[in-house]
Chain A
Amino acid sequence: MSWEVRNATSGGVGMMLPPDPADDYSTEPATREIAGNILGEPESWRLPEMSRRAFLRGVVCSGVVIASSGFLFSSSQAQANPRHSEKLITLNINGKAHRLDVAPNETLAHTIRYKLGLTGTKVGCNRAECGACTVIVDGQTEYSCSTLTMRVQNKQIRTIEGIASASGGLHPVQQGFIDELGPQCGFCTPGQVMSAVALLEKNPNPTVDEVRYALSGNLCRCGAYDHYLKGVMRAVGRA
């Protein structure tokens, strides 16, 4: 009820009283509102058969549809023009050949994360700036977020999953990073490992400056650069 009406009913003609905050509260028992439809009574404001659970489910599902619509839309576009559609190719990742369908506009990071499930490779900026997505292609580091998968068909790709030995023993670089407390949030760590491993394979005995230079394409928001640097130096000689 609006407060003019309330004033009129509460007597004082012409008196403009400020609203009484207590009027906002209902004097009826709270059970109906709190417990909802517990007594089986129909409530006019509620849509028929719309439970809280159904409502939440609706919200969640619509969110999924919105979030995936970009992908769905692009794939429907791809189907419209056969020249844009996916092609079956072979990718050599961590020594294993994978046969999979790849679209021309698909990045390597997308393929290895979402099609092969190798989610150790992270996508940070997705525009070749941060280095979280670094992988080794034919012995050289590369930003996988900005590499078209189609372009690396006949190359040897290594991701963070292929760095530790098959028995689970850590690579000296990984051990060095643990010993020197390299990772803080850990998001950039896979990329840092890849850059360091690629360096040590090329140059097993680098100087501090060479390591700094080799890791210069990997950003670390936690600022643990010196820890990573020391971690690599610790790995030198063990790799």
Chain B
Amino acid sequence: MTDMMHAFELIQPQTLDEASDLLKKHKEDAWVIAGGKDSLDWFKDRVKRPEIVLDIAQIKELHGISDQGDHIAIGAMTTLTEIAESALIKEAFPALASAASRIASPQIRNVGTIGGNICQDTRCSYYRDGFPCYRAGGNTCYANTPTAMNREHTLFEAKRCVAVTPSDAAPVLSVLDAEMVIARGGKVRSVKAAEFFVGPEIDIERMTAVERDKGDLLVQIKIPKTWAGSKQYFEKAADRQAWDFALVNVAMAAKVASDGTIEKLQIACGAVQCTPRRLSNVEDLVVGEKPSDDLGVLIERVASQGAKPLNYNHFKIPLMGKLARRAVGSLSA
């Protein structure tokens, strides 16, 4: 039999308190599985071998989408299919529904969760293959050498590690100013998207504010209604239409006046940096303007300003520009 997983203990807590207690007790020895697709790959590769696997699927309060008046709350264990098909999300945040429908494949979306998607570790193949790189606690980066395969890696803010965020939902959540609710030992705190996603300059061994060694658990995602019903856009460029992770993706939310002038706009790209990258250059450029071809040319020029490509990922620079241009261009329709 291939891909035999190591022996572990599977615990299925029924309540959040139970899960918090277990995490507090076991800390790093416990591995939380949400949808479990990516986790099982880690185990099969024998790169991660946790003693205890915590299945949080049976905790009821982690499931479901609800309208809370000033915000919409999404349980961390809500599946991507549920989000993509939810009438509430489709109406208020079409970009999120669109991103959820483009993640991975139908079978993965049916069990894969929004919490699992945004907490997922980077897809850097060196890191995933168990190389002792910076992110894995070592002292070198295998993806940033003259012969390394770094087609999928970062354009911006490389600090020793050149990995990128793999999530399609993450850039959408950052343009929608979402807040992530994290539980630790019975206490709950709320973290803004801008602080939730963590780059290597803050901590090279994790990608989010969820700290495993301290027993953190992502519980809920709150999206304020600031951008509800605004004009939104999501597009993902990947090698294949299904399954693949984004080479670059773009998410945008905008408010447009009746005469077509852009009043307010937030735009972000994923898979170009360790965290979703807000394109502040584009945001500054387009506010007060009307979408036009001339504006599109300018957007393409400024979108990827400051990019420092590696050996094989130069193609992401024009890709970013085109995607940003298309996103803003969608407002003229």
- Which residues of A does B touch, CB under 8 Å? 70-71, 74, 77-78, 81, 83-84, 103-105, 107, 110, 114, 126-129, 131, 134, 140-143, 146-148, 150-151, 195, 213-214, 216-217
Contacts and interface: CB of A to CB of B under 8 A. Distances in A.
A69 to B, nearest CB: 10
Given A105-B8, A128-B107, A140-B81, A146 B40 contact: yes
Contact of A213 (B9, B43, B106): B106
A143 B107 contact: yes
Contacts of A77: 7
Interface in B49-67: 53, 55, 57
Contacts of A104: 7-10, 53
Contacts of A146: 36-37, 40-41
23 contacts: A74-B7, A81-B7, A81-B9, A84-B8, A104-B7, A104-B10, A104-B53, A105-B4, A105-B5, A105-B8, A127-B40, A128-B108, A129-B243, A131-B107, A146-B36, A146-B40, A148-B33, A148-B40, A195-B107, A216-B105, A217-B106, A217-B107, A217-B108
A134 B12 CA distance: 24
Nearest to B33: A148
Given A77-B7, A195-B106, A128 B40 contact: yes
A35 to B, nearest CB: 43
B160 interface: no
B interface, how many residues as a size bin?
20 to 34
B27 interface: no
B37 A143 contact: yes
Contacts of A134: 107
B242 interface: yes
Given A107-B40, A140-B111, A148-B10, 17 more contacts: A77-B7, A83-B9, A104-B9, A105-B7, A105-B43, A126-B2, A141-B107, A143-B37, A146-B36, A146-B37, A147-B36, A148-B55, A150-B10, A195-B107, A216-B105, A217-B104, A217-B105
A144 B108 CA distance: 11
B110 interface: yes
Contacts of B9: 81, 83-84, 104
A140 B8 contact: no
Given A127-B41, A216-B242, A74 B108 contact: no
Nearest to B40: A146
Most chain B beta-carbon contacts within 10 A, residue among A128, A141, A213: A128
B109 to A, nearest CB: 8
A128 B8 contact: no
Secondary structure call for the A interface: mixed
Contacts of A70: 1, 4
Nearest to A139: B110
A2 to B, nearest CB: 47
A217 B41 contact: no
B314 interface: no
A97 to B, nearest CB: 20
Nearest to B5: A105
Contacts of A150: 10, 12, 55
A74 B6 CA distance: 7
Interface string B26-43: 000000010011001101
A107 B43 CA distance: 12
Most chain A CB within a 10 A radius of its CB, from B1, B2, B41, B241: B1
A83 B9 CA distance: 6
Given A134-B107, A146-B37, A127 B3 contact: yes
A60 B43 CA distance: 31
Interface in B279-331: none
Contacts of B10: 104-105, 148, 150
A140 B4 CA distance: 26
A191 to B, nearest CB: 9
Interface string B237-252: 0000111000000000
B44 interface: yes
Nearest to B43: A105
Interface in B133-185: none
Contacts of A151: 12, 36, 55, 57
B55 A84 contact: no
Contacts of A141: 106-107, 110
A84 B53 CA distance: 11
A194 B108 CA distance: 14
